[in-house]
Chains A and B, each alone.
Chain A
């Protein structure tokens, strides 16, 4: 078996990065039978290590890490203080016990987390896709890998050869950019001839120079030197990690980047430690408390100095000064540290642990929630990060992916309008709903999964209605779908876009089965009769044309142009003879669009033989022209695609997931702003926006930003903002400020629009808008809108958009997505949610929470988020109250005990009570639904504790109990007395 490996070990990327930035790595590859020992020197294998510790390093490393936390270090410092006898006011174990407890709990938690991520590594690495099967974590730079159909590409590969003609390889990039259509990659001719020949592959000896790992998914530059000749390498020859091989039996690839260097991983962004705002608040509070502690100790130390000077000096008859203490000032100095020990209870050391425990509990509740369990693929919700729960209740912005998150990514042919008659409404003529599915059994090639309810369409097909036949014939001919027929009659379509797939499938079920395709012919089974159409030209789709056409010659010899495209475009090209039909169809189109369906208009044109021949010749010339090919071609297309005859319109439903509109409505009511970031094209995104209730017709306006230059985008953004909030231009200081780079991190104030607006921004415009001085304009405009839809966005742009809002708005953001293209945004947002759906586990693995359906977001945010926040707040309030109540008594007592850092002995029982109440309080917090964290006994116990003090009693008045609680208190006091 061929094994590949580079003979010259490349330096680790990070080392070499310093040497040169580009084209710095030289890989020589040879194929050897056995992996030689030098392999072990390779730093770049394909595994991604996320675990931190091993068995031996755990204790020292973990302790080191833990003592880096301020609180832990502080208590270590306290412990040291207590070992100094003159300062020690409490016995040393009063600090050691909680400290050890805290360290142990955190340590165990770290160990479990680490163990978990070790498991993750293992699971990640168990794919196999090699000629000699191996775990894909063992793949190294320079290896040659054989991939088969539907294999997942696991490293960035240079395509060498494939089974298809011209060494084409089809890939699906859903994981990378969310697009589900197929893309084509082609190998170099020199490598293509290696074919499947293992011997040749083994002997292959070349050198690849490539750029340093980067995150540009659409760019690659490098050269291959083979037998002294140089070949340019570009992105067309690369198979990136995250793609899936489709329609290709096998292909060979050479690993260029592996593991963390792959473009996908580079796009994932840094894993940052996420903190909640409560964490930050807590840190501030703890610092304030430290300051407060220092102040208290200072006051008490001063007090001690004065006391020792005024009273203690004379009281020496009964209590001589300690050895070594010869002045009141020195005594005061020592007492400062003693009080630091005594009053340390005000610094909430256990707070961090308790907070962690509560969060863990809340996470379990998320895991256990049956209302977030999806039975169809047996997926419960999962809180993968246990530290962010309460932030869920604070979300202001949701950034959502579209494909697979809002939608199921299943297209269904739903309705159509043929020759002025609308089909597919669920209501029959007399108003009753059709519940019976159309029976397609007359067609043995029908797709059993296809569902249609309108029987009249089948009737029309069966009645040989010419327009209906023409309509479906068009659908079966005008597309770029690839058929796959592994078994006789078992057709599978590979569509570049799911819309096309849905249309061809519809035609198939109504009796126009697209069976096979060669570059020159299309085979269609029309109502059981096989016909071979000669494919003369494909006038392919692009974003400007927004239509595609085919020119075919039927077996009867008729020349026809079939065209389908966006209604606005195709309507311009229609022949004037179809005036009334145009109006009727337009009515239907509006109806379809109103329901959020994706519509296409279909039309045809019969061509004259001589005219076509002449055109065809010009077409051939244009397509081989060296310069201005694109323009020439589109001119030709324009020329022939006119005076079309309208056939009808189709309506496809991009099926939303269950409950998406309702969820979005509820979230909107909660004043959460939803931004959709999708790699899809604009029309699709806008359609989805309408169908899931984000955009609706009673919005004042939906702005579309699609400028192609920085100025255009700026202009469009300002126009939009002027309309929404004309006042925002009155104070022009904001614009001046943003041009000043020093004020970058300021938070923008909330602005109010004068109505409900939507904003749609295109990928290339977004690229301009995200640049330097435009980003502020973007944020201001976008945040005025209720709904923002960004289309044609790259994974990195998604992250940039999230980053932008994080930067300028004091808001908590949540990103939700399902594919690898969402990973960066999931990691960037304050909270990342992964939909564990069909598209692999990349998103879930980098997310903080995961579940199977978008609609569970509502429960996660509005129920669990709220509860977590309420519980945490109650707990914190209670905790601080408890600490202060306990500590301020000591402070107060200092004034009565000569500032001697004496703990009131009867107060010792407070410790027990406090410990008990802490425990009880936490249990309450976890256990009760509303989170009643208060310990009602607390007041009485503390109250009872204060009373004997306040009354300044002689010891005997301890005897009569004030209350039952008082007795307990006194009993504890007795036990504690020395």
Chain B
């Protein structure tokens, strides 16, 4: 057995500072505090079979139900997606494939589709783009936040970051930059086909942007008039846009920089395949589902060219739950992790049961 030497004088309560030089009575004996003597309460898990095995089982037992719950919720979310790019020659939109910005009259096409199951709750209508690098560094940078926030000097003198979309014809562009310039401008309309009649479905275009964006980050320029045309005086529209920013919408609280479609576009997506909220379809009454099962048609005003860079355009209809949109991954991840833990628990239990008693007598010297 190891003999740990403990000197007698180290016992607490020994008169300290015996023979202390100087005799000032100020001993240099370190303070006896828990912190200085490293006696602070500390805890460290000691991994033994007794702690690890229950931990595995508990993790397994907690994660599997959570995963199942999430997975079921995700599966209950109705989602319908159509690609309307028109790359396929049989697609109705194929004629519009090589459309350019500002083509007049706009190219339109109609796609019919069938919903096999009714969408019971509020439906979110998205447009989706693929192979569109909204997350490219130069793209993300290419905006002027103070201009978008209604700063009058930035309005007329856009930031350098907006280059090459900061001025056009010697006039400052409002809103400047590549993001704004490339704003998605297809128009999507939805009709339910009921006995060969097209019943338009009300698409709500407000309430699709984040509250903070709509009310804090984005503001129209201020001035002594409410007339947006006057406020945007001296600026010009982005190169690709058919009309200036103050003509995006007829309603005053959804026009200019605070147009919600614009705001949604300006929040750049993290990945090159993304979807953005386009419209809301609210449930009218409790008797009928928001979207009944049946035939529908989607009218597209095809303005937005993506074919040149192999982009794709989609329309998505989706309901949501407490966990957001359809997302089977999360549930699967939980179930997988839980199952692995449970499985490991069983394996380790077997191992422990069979071989565990071998070295319990190992002497750990003190």
Contact = CB atoms under 8 A, between A and B. Distances in A.
A932 B41 CA distance: 12
A666 B185 CA distance: 81
A375 interface: yes
A950 B273 CA distance: 13
B42 A955 contact: no
A928 interface: yes
A897 B137 CA distance: 8
B329 A951 contact: yes
B324 A956 contact: yes
A906 B270 contact: yes
Given A375-B29, A974-B212, A317 B308 contact: yes
B163 A898 contact: no
A46 to B, nearest CB: 25
B312 to A, nearest CB: 13
A804 B36 CA distance: 38
B316 to A, nearest CB: 9
B138 A322 contact: yes
B21 A378 contact: yes
Nearest to A86: B138
Interface string A924-967: 00011110100000000000000101111111111110100000
Interface stretch (A584-592, A656-664, A806-814): A656-664
Given A320-B164, A662-B5, A904-B270, A897 B136 contact: yes
Contacts of B356: none
Nearest to B165: A320
Contacts of A959: 324
Contact of A901 (B39, B131, B137, B277): B137
A377 B135 contact: no
Contacts of A662: 3-5
A250 to B, nearest CB: 27
A896 B140 contact: no
A146 interface: no
Contacts of B28: 373, 378-380
Given A317-B305, A365-B36, A929-B38, A954 B9 contact: no
A132 interface: no
A930 B37 contact: no
B124 A956 contact: yes
B21 A377 contact: yes
A322 B267 CA distance: 22
Nearest to B272: A896
A318 B310 CA distance: 13
B52 interface: no
B130 to A, nearest CB: 11
Contact of B322 (A658, A666, A900, A960): A960
Contacts of B272: 896-898
Contact of B330 (A367, A370, A962): A962
Interface in B305-341: 305, 308-310, 320-325, 327, 329-330, 333
Interface string A360-395: 000001011111010111111000000000000000
Contacts of A89: 137
Interface in A87-101: 89
A962 B20 CA distance: 63
B305 A315 contact: no
B329 A370 contact: no
A375 B15 CA distance: 8
A122 interface: no
A365 B327 CA distance: 52
B279 interface: no
B174 to A, nearest CB: 17
B96 to A, nearest CB: 16
Nearest to A331: B138
B143 interface: yes
A227 to B, nearest CB: 49
A897 B128 CA distance: 17
B213 to A, nearest CB: 9
A41 interface: no
A486 interface: no
A902 interface: yes
A375 B5 contact: no
A953 B30 contact: no
A904 B140 CA distance: 10
B182 A929 contact: no
A314 interface: yes
Contacts of A898: 133, 135-136, 272
Contacts of B310: 311, 314
Given A896-B135, A951-B330, A955-B267, A370 B32 contact: yes
A622 B292 CA distance: 133
Interface in B83-142: 124, 126, 128, 131-133, 135-140, 142
A902 B133 CA distance: 11
Contact of B10 (A370, A665, A896, A927): A370
Select the residue from A318, A323, A659 with max chain B CB neighbours within 10 A.
A318
Contact of A666 (B2, B9, B21, B273): B2
Contact of B29 (A370, A658, A932): A370
Interface in A44-59: none
21 contacts: A311-B131, A318-B182, A370-B32, A373-B28, A373-B30, A375-B15, A375-B17, A378-B28, A666-B5, A867-B38, A897-B271, A898-B135, A929-B42, A932-B42, A932-B43, A947-B333, A951-B327, A954-B325, A955-B269, A962-B330, A978-B145
The 6 closest A-B pairs by CB, nearest first: A960-B324, A314-B309, A902-B137, A662-B5, A900-B137, A368-B36
Given A669-B2, A957-B327, 14 more contacts: A312-B136, A314-B309, A323-B163, A377-B20, A378-B18, A380-B30, A666-B4, A666-B5, A853-B7, A896-B135, A897-B137, A897-B272, A927-B35, A952-B271
